[in-house]
Structure 1
Amino acid sequence: MAHLILAVNPGSTSTKIGLFSDSTPIFTETMEHEHKELEKYPSIVSQRQMRSRIAEELLMKHAINPDMLSAIVGRGGLLPPLKTGGYLINEKMIDMIVNEKGVSPHASNLGALIAYDIAEKANRKAYIYDAVSASDILPVAQITGFPEIKRNSFSHVLNCRANAIEYAKSLGKAYEEMNLIVAHLGGGISVSVYQKGKIIDTVGDDFGCFSPERSGSVPLLDFIELCYSGNFTKEEMKKRVRGQGGLKAYFGTPDVRTIEKMALEKDEKAELILTAMCYTIGKTIGSLAPVLKGRCDAVILTGGIARSKFITDKIAEMIGFIGEVVIRPGEYELEALAAGALRIIKGEETVHIF
């Protein structure tokens, strides 16, 4: 008998929902959220009820009662360091996310909350899979110049790991045989090193390149001056780093399609800023190449804005010397969530307890 699995993937400006019969999609839908709508909420966590309601209404639209589901699986967020794979969502995890106990604010954290809300009503189990914080990061990669600050791995694991696996399959190889650098290009951008099936190093979305909604790495002394200028609160500065930075800060919108259109129409500011973003992405990817000591099979560019030829051409021009540049636009996140939950249900994979 096939298992009905609901997969939920919240992003900064959308909620993607898919219903699967085992690994076969019954429906997948993307609910876009207008920036004006999201700005009504003081925090990401406060969007929980709104986004859970959307998921429930979508099930009703397709005549699916929650108790028909075998499991609900949500995208894992910026939790403390985890292993790759699935985790049972429990009250401890929910409490950490809601009260931000060692959890960085990020839209992906809503995945656990939405999945838990639906599972509670359906009396089913809920999971997260391949959380943003999952990795096998090398101890040497965690050391910084501040003894008080440890560099943990935060990346778009779900999409990047799924793309690495599928790319290896396309070559008739096992994912565990390959050395890859994978860059997820979306509202936030992260770049990771995959060595023989393990994520050994990562540049996260808050300390590498800038992106549509993230400031990326900036000169620290100037940043400290801004923090203590008296012009911004702590929460406002956090939003300037994640959510209100990058392209959004320059143009009032993070919509790459709009800004790319301006650049192609010879708007000098748009062309310069968009090219600068590509430049910083190329530098970030290049900074990870030495981790593999030159033995990189390919660099994969994935995510929503990998659909932009303007962007991928500029990046590829910079990094082509590292290895073959593979463009895999879009994402496989809903499929990866459902596949992970199915392996847990069938006992093919052991679920971790948070």
Structure 2
Amino acid sequence: MKKEAILVINPGSTSTKLALFDRDGAVFVENIDHAGTAISNMPNIQEQLPLRIEIVNRTFKKWLNEHDLIAVVGRGGLLRPLKSGIYRVNEAMMDDAINCKYAIHASNLGASIADGVAKEYNVPAFVVDPVTVDEFIPEARISGTPEIVRRSRLHALNVNACVRKESEKLGKSICESNFVIAHLGGGITIAAIDHGNIIDCNDALMGMGPFSPERAGSMPLEQLLRLATSRKYTMKEFYTKFSKNAGLKAYLGTNDVREVLSRIEKGDDYARLIFTAMIYQISKEIGAYATVLKGKVDRIIITGGLARSEKIIAMIRERVGFLAEISVYPGENELEAMATGGFRAIDGIQEIQTYKQEK
């Protein structure tokens, strides 16, 4: 008898990650590299869609010999502000995502690729906890000037997956737990989780919070204004500079933390200073988000690719360990989070929500 399985699809700018999960875990995982292919010459993501669907179908068909496909889950892209949860892919979602209504990102392809594959097999398509999950409390939206509103953009998929795991470990429901969570990767999310809701976080893509291996984080406003009015950069160049070419990459010429740590071990004092500053800023932000929860923190959770480094964990623990115990979930675990969300939807454990466009 064939096992039930869910296909998960996580499109990136230069690759597409695929995995087939049954109820025991991942059965097949593949990272399809698009470098040097026709896709790499298509800057417009709408152009890429048919070819990406074709490649996904061709790759995963060979995985179905012993499995029945029951759903497809795509990465949730940059959509309108949403509550956490599982959303059935519909025309409204695909229209907003593929047309990059809110921002341009390869993850905007996730819903449409999932839908294209799901229709061939007559199964439902979902997205789980998109990047734009927004459960902010009203005071978290206030920036300090009326023209600018603080927005929620974070690694919601991995954040909520870790919150579920840690709540279960503590023997509590999500609705009974409070956490400060730090997702540490190329971008960094620090968030306060209050009884299951992400009530405040930094903007992990563009603005506030610590600098990261490749993002700028908070910057002194006066100097930023001087740079903005110097006409040295266009708006597009600013966006790229602060979201892809800042942080460790700007200071040290690399976004590879392993290389930075190696340079520190060899006596590079400048690398030590910049790296310590990043850990300092991460720790300071964790402390700030503990105040959002009024100090009622069940655990501090550290996750993401940088959580694999014992050195990083030790440096953060030294600064924030007095606030609460620290739990570590290395890696991004996005494929697993998408699959488990799909099974919760199919099994009726979690309500399936409907995406609606903003009026």
TM-score (norm 2): 0.87
Q: Aligned AA for 2:296? A: R
Give the match for residue 326 of structure 1: 327
CA contact (8 A) 1:22 1:338 kept: no
**1:112 maps to amino acid:** A
Structure-2 separation of matches of 1:54 and 1:257: 33
CA–CA separation in structure 1 for the residues paired with 2:277 and 2:54: 39
Query: Could you tell me which amino acid in structure 2 is paired with residue 97 of structure 1?
Result: A
Amino acid at match of 1:137: F
Instruction: Tell me whether 72-81 or 38-47 shows the greater mean CA deviation.
Output: 38-47
Q: Residue 155 of structure 1: CA displacement? A: 1.4
Decide whether the 8 Å contact of 1:73 with 1:126 is kept in 2.
Answer: yes
Residues 23 and 335 of structure 1 are in contact (CA less than 8 Å); yes or no, is this contact kept in structure 2?
no
Task: Give the Å deviation of 1:57.
Answer: 4.1
Confirm whether residue 163 of structure 1 aligns to residue 167 of structure 2: no
For structure 1, the residue ranges without an aligned partner over 5 or more in a row are: none
Deviation at 1:68, TM superposition (A): 5.2
- Are the aligned partners of 1:23 and 1:338 in contact in 2 as well (CA < 8 Å)? no
Q: Does 1:99 align with 2:81?
A: no
| Residue 84 of structure 2: aligned partner | 84
Amino acid of the residue matched to residue 157 of structure 1? A
Residue in 2 that maps onto 1:294: 295
Matches within 5 A, 1:195-344: 195-205=194-204, 206=206, 207-344=208-345
Backbone CA RMSD of aligned residues? 2.9
Unmatched segments (≥5 aa) in structure 2: none
TM-score, with structure 1 as normaliser: 0.88
Q: 1:156 to 1:251 in 2, by over 3 A?
A: same
C-alpha distance 96-23 of structure 1, shift in aligned 2 (>3 A): farther
Moved more, 21-30 or 147-156: 21-30
Q: How has the CA–CA distance of structure 1 residues 166 and 76 changed in structure 2, closer, same or farther, with 3 Å as cutoff?
A: same
Residue number in structure 1 paired with 2:116: 117
Q: Is the 1:208–1:216 Cα contact (8 Å) retained in structure 2?
A: yes
Residue 33 to residue 92, structure 1, CA distance change in 2 (3 Å): same
- Whether contact under 8 Å (1:213, 1:254) holds in the other structure is yes
Residues in 1 aligned to 2:27 and 2:39: alpha-carbon distance in whole angstroms: 29
* 3-state DSSP of counterpart to 1:104: coil
Deviation at residue 76 of structure 1 after TM alignment: 1.6
Q: Cα distance, 1:121 vs. partner? A: 4.2
For residue 192 of structure 1, what is the aligned residue in structure 2?
191
Mark the CA change 1:251 to 1:156 in structure 2 (over 3 Å): closer, same or farther.
same
- Output the CA distance in 2 between the equivalents of 1:312 and 1:47: 39
Q: 151-160 or 168-177: which moved more? A: 168-177
Query: Which whole-Å CA distance do the structure 1 matches of 2:46 and 2:242 have between them?
Result: 17
Which position in structure 2 is the counterpart of 1:147? 146
> In the alignment, which residue of structure 2 is the partner of 1:4?
5
Percent identical pairs in the alignment equals 43
Q: Once the 2 structures are TM-superposed, how far is the Cα of residue 307 of structure 1 from its aligned partner?
A: 0.6
**What letter corresponds to residue 171 of structure 1 in structure 2?**
L
Counterpart-to-counterpart distance in 2, 1:288 and 1:60:
45
Contact 2:184 2:303 in 1 (8 A): yes
**3-state SS in 2 of match to 1:296:** coil
- Count the aligned residue pairs: 352
SS of aligned partner of 1:147: coil
